[in-house]
Amino acid sequence: MIKPGIRRSVVLHYFIVVFLTMLILEAIFLISVRTYYYESVSNHLTYHSAVTTSYYQRYLSLGSNEDDQGWLTELLKLFKLDNAEVQILNRSGKVLVTSNEFKVDTPVTTSDVISALNGNINQWTGKQPGTGEAVMAVSAPLLVRGDIVYVLRLVTSLELVNDRINGIVLLSIIVSIAVLIVVLVISLGLANSIVKPVNEITAASAQMARGQFDIRIKEGYKYELGELAKTLNFMAHEIVRSNQLKNDFISSISHELRTPLTGIKGWSETLLSGQYDEAETKLGMNVISKETDRLIGLVEDLLDFSKLQQNKLQFHWHPVSLANVIEDTMLQVKKKAEQKQISLEERVRGTEIPLNADTNRLKQVFLNLIDNAIKFSPKESVITVHTTWDEEKAVVRIVDQGIGISHEHLAKVMDKFYQVNPSHGGTGLGLAITFELVKAHGGEMTIESELDVGTTVIVTLPVRMMPELQIVDEEKS
């Protein structure tokens, strides 16, 4: 009818829930209707027999002559009840007289009669012998001189009552079916309201999967579906962006690789021609060597990065003096800073505690950060490295007065391959690698920046760093 899917399960769930509810309600309703009808009839018979037998007991029982049929016939008038057959039975259940014109041949021994012989007024429901008609009988004891000598039995047909109950059953079943149909229609609508957006989102994401990332899903859906649409849209956007990053990276890395290669190629060709003197040859060889260093640095960066990505970078952990590392780094970049007339300052607050770290990696972190600061700082500016110690961590702030990073770029500068301005050269991996290394030391790195005012990079390194994971990694490798 409906193919398998959310629509069918939603409709089915609604249907089952409502069907069960209806079923239970129906059962309760029918039981109570039946009880009400039967009880009413039973009460009517019981009340009538109680009243008339009480009257009989008080005023008529003395007139009883046990074998007088005429008297019993008279008694019938007292017990007469519209729409019921009145019988007077003897103790063995033989019908002595009945309001019906015919003689009853077989003794009656139903539970109501037995109960009446024990002195109680009781009711019995069953089938009338001869006709199989559903009847209700109520029997009451009739006493003569304190003995139960007769039993008054009122019998009424339940056919009309049952017909009425059946009518009610039928009607309520029809109503239930109608309700179920309405529920089905409504649940179909409800299922559609879920299925339709899901289908739309599915179709759109299928297009995305085929590479059409410019497609956007309508985000006006409610609740989870809206979230899903937004997420998918965001995902498409991110895919486009990372593609862009990759492309940028490839073009910049090509450029970066080509520049030194051009120098190497030029000088090596020049040298091959052999028309130069020794000094020139030396200069040429120097250039080739420098450019090769640059290439090696680049390739190493890339290697580091890919190792970091695959968690394969090896660390050599031992106690390290952070001040020494920073000092070494500052010495290394001093020349570069002097070229731009940038003054490097170092300030320390608190007592130094040796850190458990990898010296070279830590040096790489600060070299990268300070180098960056120099790169983006104007001439004659100041770069300050603040180190603050407390018992748990060391916080290193590298503050420059450079061009700064705009708000929109700030969140992404630590992404791989991201470059604020790809024409500046570089791989866009520096900060990403730095960030990963800080993380490997259990630290954190954040960047605060304001455009044209300056940038502050904050590196927090914990004192008690237990790089168990890395040690295990090392052992493995």
Partner 1 sequence: MRTKRLIHSASLLLILLSVMLSGCQWIQDPKSLMSVPRLPTEKANLKSMIASQLPEGAILIRPTSSDDASAIRVTDLNNDGLADTAVVFYETPEKEVRIHGMVFHRDGDSWRMVVDFDGEGIKLDSVELIDITNDSRLDLVVGYGSNDTDLNKGLVIYTFTQDGINKLFEQPYSQFVIDDLDQNGKNQLFIVNNRRGQSPVLTAFDYQNGKMVKLNELAMDKEVNMYINMVSGFISKDHKGIVMDASAGANYWLTNVVVLNKDKVLEQVLSDDMTLKPYFTTSADINGDGIIEIAMPETPSGWDRLYESYEIPYFTNYFQWDGSNGLKLVDKQYRDYLDRFYLTFPKSWYGRVTVDTKSKKDEILIFVDQNTNEKLAEIRFFTPVMWDLNKEKWTYLSSFGDKIIGIISKEPLKLNKGLPKIPELNNNESNSK
Strands of 393-399's sheet, edge to edge? 343-349, 382-389, 393-399, 454-462, 444-450
Query: What Å distances lie between residue 159 and 37, 38, 135, 351, 398, CA to CA?
Result: 12, 11, 7, 104, 100
Show the site string, 153-192: x = touches partner 1 by CB under 8 A, - = not. Answer: --xxx-xxx-xx--xx--x---------------------
Among 146, 211, 220, 274, binds partner 1 (CB under 8 A): 146
Q: Is 468 in the site for partner 1 (CB under 8 A)?
A: no
Q: Is 70 in the site for partner 1 (CB under 8 A)?
A: yes
Instruction: Quote the CA–CA distance of 330 and 337 in Å, as a whole number.
Output: 9
Residue in 365, 363, 398 with CA at minimum distance from that of residue 383: 398
Q: Is 97 in the site for partner 1 (CB under 8 A)?
A: yes
Cβ count near 207 (within 10 Å) = 15
Q: Is 115 in the site for partner 1 (CB under 8 A)?
A: no
Q: Is 44 in the site for partner 1 (CB under 8 A)?
A: yes
Give the shortest CB-200-to-partner 1 separation in angstroms.
37
Q: Is 54 in the site for partner 1 (CB under 8 A)?
A: yes
Give the shortest CB-25-to-partner 1 separation in angstroms.
17
Q: Is 77 in the site for partner 1 (CB under 8 A)?
A: no
Residue in 386, 351, 358 with CA at minimum distance from that of residue 370: 386
Residue 86 DSSP SS3: strand
Give the shortest CB-155-to-partner 1 separation in angstroms.
5
- Give the H or E element holding residue 13: helix 6-55
Q: Is 237 in the site for partner 1 (CB under 8 A)?
A: no
Q: Is 236 in the site for partner 1 (CB under 8 A)?
A: no
Q: Which is nearer to partner 1, 158 or 342 (CB)?
A: 158
Q: Which is nearer to partner 1, 118 or 202 (CB)?
A: 118
Q: Is 100 in the site for partner 1 (CB under 8 A)?
A: yes
Give the shortest CB-214-to-partner 1 separation in angstroms.
50
Instruction: Provide the residue type at 371 as one letter.
Output: D
Instruction: Quote the CA–CA distance of 201 and 215 in Å, as a whole number.
Output: 11
Q: Which is nearer to partner 1, 103 or 476 (CB)?
A: 103
Q: Is 103 in the site for partner 1 (CB under 8 A)?
A: yes
Half-sphere exposure (Cβ direction) of 463: Cα atoms closer than 13 Å: 11
Q: Is 145 in the site for partner 1 (CB under 8 A)?
A: yes
DSSP for residue 446: E
Give the shortest CB-146-to-partner 1 separation in angstroms.
4
Residue in 152, 148, 156, 149 with CA at minimum distance from that of residue 128: 156
Q: Which is nearer to partner 1, 145 or 335 (CB)?
A: 145
Of 89-97, 177-185, 212-220, 424-432, the window that binds partner 1 (rule: CB under 8 A) is: 89-97
Q: Is 78 in the site for partner 1 (CB under 8 A)?
A: no
- Would you say how long the chain is, in residues? 477
Instruction: Quote the CA–CA distance of 154 and 152 in Å, as a whole number.
Output: 7
Q: Which is nearer to partner 1, 70 or 220 (CB)?
A: 70
Among 79, 93, 139, 141, binds partner 1 (CB under 8 A): 141
How far separated are the first and last CA of the chain, in Å rounded?
A: 60
Contact 358, 317 (CB under 8 A): yes
Q: Is 138 in the site for partner 1 (CB under 8 A)?
A: no
Give the shortest CB-151-to-partner 1 separation in angstroms.
12
Q: Is 128 in the site for partner 1 (CB under 8 A)?
A: yes
Contact 187, 129 (CB under 8 A): no
Among 3, 4, 62, 222, binds partner 1 (CB under 8 A): 62
Of 3-11, 133-141, 220-228, 298-306, the window that binds partner 1 (rule: CB under 8 A) is: 133-141
Residue with tokens 């039995």: 153
Q: Is 69 in the site for partner 1 (CB under 8 A)?
A: yes
Query: What Å distances lie between residue 403 and 89, 340, 459, CA to CA?
Result: 118, 15, 20
Give the shortest CB-149-to-partner 1 separation in angstroms.
7
Query: Phi and psi of 435, rounded to 5°?
Result: -60, -45
Instruction: Quote the CA–CA distance of 454 and 383 in Å, as a whole number.
Output: 10
Residue 318 DSSP SS3: strand
Residue in 143, 99, 145, 144 with CA at minimum distance from that of residue 120: 143
Among 12, 78, 149, 287, binds partner 1 (CB under 8 A): 149
Q: Is 122 in the site for partner 1 (CB under 8 A)?
A: no
Query: Phi and psi of 319, rounded to 5°?
Result: -60, 135
- What are the residues binding partner 1 (CB under 8 A)? 36-38, 40-41, 44, 54, 57-58, 61-62, 64, 67-70, 72-73, 82-85, 91, 96-98, 100-103, 118-119, 128, 130-131, 133, 135, 141, 143, 145-149, 155-157, 159-161, 163-164, 167-168, 171
